[in-house]
Structure 1
C-alpha cells in the first residue's frame, strides 16, 4: 500500500535565521540600517537583504519604514524580545564552548553625559562576544577618568574635551549649548543663575563665556550630584551648559537669540591603555569606534 503525504498539510517546525535576527536586533537598537551595518561590519545592502529575508520567511512586516527613523511594527516589537533571548543564548553557548575565548577582566570609564545612546549597545555586544570576561564600568567626570587612566587604573576611557592629548582618538564632535526647562524663563534673569556639578568640565567654560560677554551670573547650585542639577533645571531655577546631544525630555536647548554667548564644540575622545590587557582593550575600543561610525 502506498501512502501519499501532502507536505503542505504537515505541521513542520520552522527555524529562525540567527544571522538575520542579529541584523534585525541591531537595526532596532540603533534605529537605522546604515549604523547597524557599521556595527556588524557588513554592507548596507547585506543588512537590508537579511531583513527582507526574515520578513519574507515570517510572512509579515517587522519594520515600520514610513518614518524618517526606522521603527518597529507590533509584530516586530514582539519578535524583538525573543531575538534578544535567542541571540544571548546563542552567544553564551558559543563563548562557553569556544576554546580560544578570553577570560579575565577589563575596566571601562565613560562620562555620564555620553553614556547614551551608544554605550549600552557596546556593553551588550562585548558581554555577548566575551562572556567569560568581567567588564567593570566606571561613570565619572572626564578629569577623574583621565587621572585614573594615566595612573594605569583603567583600560579604556571615553572623554569630553576641548582638546585631547596625543593619546586621544577623536570619535565625534558635539557643540555645547545652553539648556533649561521647557518654556522656561530662567535664562532671562540677571544675574544669570547657573547649575552645574563642581567637577563638570563645562562649568568653567560657561562661566568664562559669560564673563567675556559681560553677563553677570551666580552659581545657583553647588553639588557633586547630577540629579540635583537636573531637578534645578527642570524647575526653571537655573540653566546649564550641556552637549547638544544630551538634552532630557523635560528640558530644551534655549533659543536665546544671542542673549547668551556662543559656546565651544567639544570632542568625544577615546583612550586605550596599551600596557594593560591589550587584546581585550583593543577589541572593546573597536566596538566603540564601530558604534560611532
Structure 2
C-alpha cells in the first residue's frame, strides 16, 4: 500500500510544477518533499519526474500514477471525514430555487449524503418568496434562494448579474411594444424587471408567464419574448440585451441560505455543506 503522505507530495509537485511550490503548499521544507518523492520512486520502482535545472515534468509513468493518486487521496479524505463527522439522523426539509437545483445542488447533496448517511432529505423546488414563507411557517428547515430585493436576511452566498435574455433570432424593434416572459408571481426577477421598466418610458406587455425558470427561458428561446435571467442561466440560443439596446439596467441577484430559528444539528450541517461548496474556489455554475 502506497503511503498517502508520499502521494500527497507527488500530487503537490505535479500540480504546482516544482518542489519549492509544493513545499510551500504543504508547509514542509523542499528537502522533505524531495526525499518523499525519492521514497515514492523507490517504492514504485519508476522515475516519476524528469528534472532539469529549470523545470520538473512528469514522466509517462508519473502521468499514469497521477490519476490513481488523486483518486486514492480523495477516497482517504472522504473516509476521514466520514469517520470524524458527528453521527446525525432524522429528516431535513430543503427548499431551493430552480437556478440552484439545476447546478450547485447535486454535488452538494451527494457530499452531504456520503458524510451523513443517517439523514433523510426531502427537497422542494420553488420560487424564493414561497420557499421563505414555508420556512417561516415551519414547513421547511433550510432554504437556498434568491434574496428578496432590499432585504438582508439570510447568509449571502454569491451575487451575480440579472440580465435581459432573448433568442439569438429575436428582433428588437425600436418603438414597438416589448414582449415579456415572466414568472407568474412573487419572483425576485419579476419584481426587479418590472421596477426597472417602471422607471423608463418603454412600452411593454407580459405575453407569457410560467412558474419556472425552464418555462420563461423556453419562451425566450422560442423568440416569443425577452425575459430576465441570472447571467449563469444564459444558454446556447440566447443572447444578452442591455442599455445599448435601449433596455434598463437590472440589479444584481443575491443568493442566500436561510435557516429556521433554533434548527437541529442535521439542518445546520446541511446549511454548512451548501455554503462550503457554493463559496469554494470553484463554485459550480448554474
TM-score by length of 2: 0.67
Matched, 1:202 2:170: no
Aligned length: 241
Matched, 1:119 2:109: no
Aligned partner of 1:66 in structure 2 is none
The CA distance in 1 between the partners of 2:109 and 2:86, in whole Å, is: 21
Q: Are the structure 2 counterparts of residues 145 and 46 from structure 1 closer, same or farther at C-alpha, using a change threshold of 3 Å?
A: farther
Return the match for 1:213 from 176, 200, 203.
200
The question of whether the paired residues in 2 share the 8 Å contact of 1:196 and 1:222 is answered with yes
Aligned partner of 1:284 in structure 2 is 270
The CA distance in 2 between the partners of 1:160 and 1:187, in whole Å, is: 32
Aligned partner of 2:236 in structure 1 is 249
Deviation at 1:229, TM superposition (A): 2.0
The question of whether the paired residues in 2 share the 8 Å contact of 1:174 and 1:265 is answered with yes
Aligned partner of 1:170 in structure 2 is 156
The CA distance in 2 between the partners of 1:135 and 1:101, in whole Å, is: 15
Return the match for 2:137 from 151, 173, 180.
151
Q: 1:13-65, CA deviations, whole angstroms, 9 ceiling, x for partnerless residues?
A: 76888x96xx99xxxxxxx99xxxxxxxxxx9349xx9xx8xx98959xxxxx
Aligned partner of 1:45 in structure 2 is 25
Question: Matched residue of 1:193: which SS?
Answer: strand
Question: Matched residue of 1:204: which SS?
Answer: helix
The CA distance in 1 between the partners of 2:85 and 2:231, in whole Å, is: 45
Deviation at 1:244, TM superposition (A): 1.8
The question of whether the paired residues in 2 share the 8 Å contact of 1:186 and 1:236 is answered with no
The CA distance in 2 between the partners of 1:131 and 1:250, in whole Å, is: 40
Q: 1:217-243, CA deviations, whole angstroms, 9 ceiling, x for partnerless residues?
A: 111213324433222211222101112
Return the match for 1:264 from 229, 248, 251.
251
The question of whether the paired residues in 2 share the 8 Å contact of 1:186 and 1:238 is answered with no
Q: 1:88-123, CA deviations, whole angstroms, 9 ceiling, x for partnerless residues?
A: x9958985x889521111111111123354322211
Gaps of 5+ in 1: 1-12, 25-31, 34-43, 61-74
**Which shows bigger deviation, 179-188 or 147-156?**
179-188
Q: 1:140-199, CA deviations, whole angstroms, 9 ceiling, x for partnerless residues?
A: 10011011000011111122122335x422222222111111253247572100011203
Matched, 1:274 2:254: no
Structure exhibiting the larger radius of gyration computed from Cα positions? 2
Q: Are the structure 2 counterparts of residues 258 and 154 from structure 1 closer, same or farther at C-alpha, using a change threshold of 3 Å?
A: same
The CA distance in 2 between the partners of 1:254 and 1:115, in whole Å, is: 25
The CA distance in 2 between the partners of 1:94 and 1:241, in whole Å, is: 41
Question: Matched residue of 2:244: which SS?
Answer: coil
The question of whether the paired residues in 2 share the 8 Å contact of 1:92 and 1:131 is answered with no
